Structure 1
Amino acid sequence: MAHTPVNHPARPIYRAIGGIVGLYFVVFGGLGIIASAGNDFLAQDDTKVLGQGTNMAFSLLSVLVGVVILVGTAIGRNLDVAINQWLAYTLMVIGLAALAFLQTDANIFNFSIMTDVVVLTLALVLLMVGMYGKVGSDDEHEAWQKARLVL
């Protein structure tokens, strides 16, 4: 897309922010696995980690999401951009679905409102990181500059 920034001057900062988000998911998931050990996989109880509701399923999902983000960030080469954007959209869907089912038996990840706020916020941060972290050739950068100046 011509309107997505290419070779943005702050892309190392955005890449670092993506890594921090991935690290947060790994730490949260690891603490969640410890806190929910011995509970049912999809338990809907009062297990909380860092003020957020969780269970073993969401903790494992968080570790998986964090590791994927960290691997994408380490590899770079626009793979991190694709991973961050797709995971951002996926986390938004999960967060909005969890918000819809927060007070029902369909709350399979044991979300609390704080968990939902954090997941949706981190999804938006990942989307921003994915949009500004793209690396390309000088021709792609020039095409982006021309498209930006026309708009």
Structure 2
Amino acid sequence: MAHTPVNHPARPIYRAIGGLVGLYFVLFGVLGLIASAGNDVFAQDDTKALGQGTNLGFSLLSILLGAVILFGIVIGRNLDAAINQWLAYVLFVLGLGQLAFLRTDANIFNFSIITVIVVLTLGMVLLMAGMYGKVGTDEEQEAWQKARLVL
């Protein structure tokens, strides 16, 4: 995409921010796994980790999401930018979907309103990290600069 920045000067910072989001998901997942040990996978109870509602299913999903983000960060080469963008969209769908079913039996991940806010916020941060984390050749950077200046 010509409008997505290439070789942004703050790319290392955005990559680190993406890594922190991945670490947060892993940490939250491990703490949620500990807190929900012995419960059903999709239990709807008062289990909380870091102040957010969770259950065994969402804890395992959080560990998986965090591991995928960290895998992309370690590999780099625009794979991190692509993973961050796509997982941000997944987090938006997950957060809004769980918001819609918050007080129903369809709340399979035992979300609370705090969990929805955190997931949507981390999705926005991950999207930002993905959009500004792209690297490319000098020609791609020049094409981005030209497209940016032509409005």
TM-score, with structure 2 as normaliser: 0.99
* 1: CA distance, partners of 2:11 / 2:148: 17
Q: Which amino acid aligns with 1:22?
A: G
Name the counterpart of 2:108: 108
> What displacement does 1:78 show?
0.2
**Cα distance in structure 1, aligned partners of 2:3 and 2:91:** 24
Query: How far did 1:146 drift?
Result: 0.4
User: Please, what TM-score do these two structures have when normalized by structure 1?
Assistant: 0.99
Q: How far does residue 27 in structure 1 lie from its aligned partner after superposition?
A: 0.1
Tell me the residue number matched to 1:134: 134
Q: Does 1:14 align with 2:17?
A: no
SS at match of 2:77: coil
Give 3-state SS (helix, strand or coil) of 2:4's partner. coil
Deviation per residue, 1:4-59 (Å, 9 max, x gap): 00000000000000000000000000000000000011000000011000000000
The amino acid that maps onto 1:16 is A
- In structure 2, how many angstroms separate the alpha carbons of the residues matched to 1:124 and 1:48? 23
* Matching of residues 43-82 of structure 1 within 5 Å: 43-82=43-82
CA deviations on 1:94-113 (whole Å, 9 max, x unpaired) are 00000000000000000000
**Equivalent residue number for residue 99 of structure 1:** 99
* Letter in structure 2 aligned against 1:107: N
SS in 2 for 1:29: helix
Q: Which runs of 5+ in 1 are unaligned?
A: none
Q: State yes or no: 1:40 paired with 2:40.
A: yes
Q: Which amino acid aligns with 1:84?
A: N
In structure 2, C-alpha distance between the alignment counterparts of 1:129 and 1:17, rounded to whole Å: 7
Q: Structure 2: which amino acid aligns with 1:75?
A: I
Residue identity matched to 2:43? A
- Unpaired runs of at least 5, structure 2: none
Question: Are positions 1:89 and 2:89 aligned together?
Answer: yes
Please state whether the residue corresponding to 1:116 is helix, strand or coil: helix
TM superposition shift of 1:89 = 0.3
CA-atom RMSD, angstroms?
0.4
In the alignment, residue 68 of structure 2 is paired with which amino acid? Answer: V
Distance 1:40 1:3 in 2: 46
